Amino acid sequence: MAGAAYPTSPVRPTRGLAYYLRVLRVVGIIKFKAKYTGAALGYLWSLAKPLAYFGVLWLVFAHLLRTANQTDDFALFLLIGILLFTFFSDTVAVMLPSIVEGGSILRRLAFPPILVPLSASVGIFITFLVNVSAIVVFIGIGRVSPRVEWLLVPPLLAELYVFSLGLGLLVAALYVRFRDVGQIWELAVQLLFFASAIFYPIGILPDWAQKVAFLNPFVQVMQDIRHAVLGSSGPNDLTAATVYAGAGGRAIPIAIALILFATALAFFRREGRFFAERV
Amino acid sequence: MAVAIEVTGLSKSFRIPHEHRTYFKEYFLHPLRRTQYERNDALKDVTFSVEAGEFFGIFGPNGSGKSTLLRILAGIYVADSGRVQVTGLLSPFIELGVGFDLDLNARENIRINGTLAGLTQRQLDARFDEILEFAELERFVDQKLKNYSSGMLMRLAYSIAIQIPFDVILLDEVLAVGDESFQRKCFVTFDRFKREGRTVVLVTHQHDLLRGFCDRVLLLEHGVVGAVGSPGDLVGVPSEGALIG
Residues 6 or more apart whose Cβ sits within 8 Å of residue A97: A172, A175, A182
Q: Looking at A26-30, A133-137, B222-226, which range is the least confident one?
A: A133-137
At residue B40, the pLDDT reads: 87
User: Is the pLDDT assigned to residue A43 strictly greater than 90?
Assistant: no
* Residues of B with Cβ-Cβ distance to A27 under 8 angstroms: 112, 115-116
Nearest CA in chain B to A37: B104
Alpha-carbon gap: A134 to the closest alpha carbon of chain B (Å): 28
Average pLDDT over residues A237-244: 79
Q: How confident is the model at residue A48 (pLDDT cuts 50, 70, 90)?
A: confident
User: Is the pLDDT assigned to residue B168 strictly greater than 80?
Assistant: yes
Please state, as a whole number, how many other Cβ atoms lie within 10 Å of the Cβ of residue B164: 26
Cβ contact, residue pair B78, A19, below 8 Å: no
**Sign, CA torsion B235/B236/B241/B245:** positive
Please state, as a whole number, how many other Cβ atoms lie within 10 Å of the Cβ of residue A27: 23
**Sign, CA torsion B69/B131/B167/A24:** negative
Separation CA B26–CA B14 (nearest Å):
21
Sheet with strand B37-51: strands edge to edge: B37-51, B3-17, B81-86
| Cα distances (angstroms) measured from residue A5 to each of A1, A11, A272, B55, B189 | 11, 17, 35, 19, 10
- Eight-class DSSP state of B33: P
Domain boundaries, chain A: 17-274
Q: What is the DSSP pairing of strand B199-203 with strand B81-86?
A: unpaired
Interface with B, mutate which of A108, A178, A269 (most B CBs under 10 A): A108
User: Is the pLDDT assigned to residue B178 strictly greater than 90?
Assistant: no
At residue A9, the pLDDT reads: 46
Q: How confident is the model at residue A183 (pLDDT cuts 50, 70, 90)?
A: very high
Nearest CA in chain A to B12: A277
Cβ contact, residue pair A104, B101, below 8 Å: yes
Separation CA A200–CA A78 (nearest Å):
8
User: Is the pLDDT assigned to residue A125 strictly greater than 60?
Assistant: yes
The residue type found at A117 is: P
Average pLDDT over residues A61-81: 78
Q: Looking at A109-113, B14-18, B182-186, B207-211, which range is the least confident one?
A: B14-18
What b/e string do you get for B175-195 counting C-beta neighbours within 10 Å, with b at 16 or more?
A: bbebeeebeebbeebbeebee
Mean pLDDT, chain B, rounded, equals 87
Average pLDDT over residues A75-98: 94
Has domain B1-89+166-245 been given CATH number 3.40.50.300? yes
Cβ contact, residue pair B99, A6, below 8 Å: no
Cβ contact, residue pair B76, A7, below 8 Å: no
Q: How confident is the model at residue B244 (pLDDT cuts 50, 70, 90)?
A: very low
What ipTM does the predicted assembly reach? Answer: 0.84
The beta-carbon neighbor of A107 closest among B99, B166, B189 is: B99
- Strand, helix or coil for residue B201: strand
User: Is the pLDDT assigned to residue A71 strictly greater than 80?
Assistant: no
User: Is the pLDDT assigned to residue A117 strictly greater than 90?
Assistant: yes
Cβ contact, residue pair B22, A34, below 8 Å: no
Q: How confident is the model at residue B38 (pLDDT cuts 50, 70, 90)?
A: confident
The beta-carbon neighbor of A178 closest among B22, B95, B101 is: B22
Q: How confident is the model at residue A204 (pLDDT cuts 50, 70, 90)?
A: confident
* Angle (nearest 5°) at CA B45 between B41 and B48: 125
What percent of chain A clears pLDDT 70, i.e. is strictly above it?
88
Average pLDDT over residues B206-211: 90
Beta bridge partner(s), residue B206:
none
Domain boundaries, chain B: 1-89+166-245, 96-165
Alpha-carbon gap: B16 to the closest alpha carbon of chain A (Å): 10
Nearest CA in chain B to A101: B101
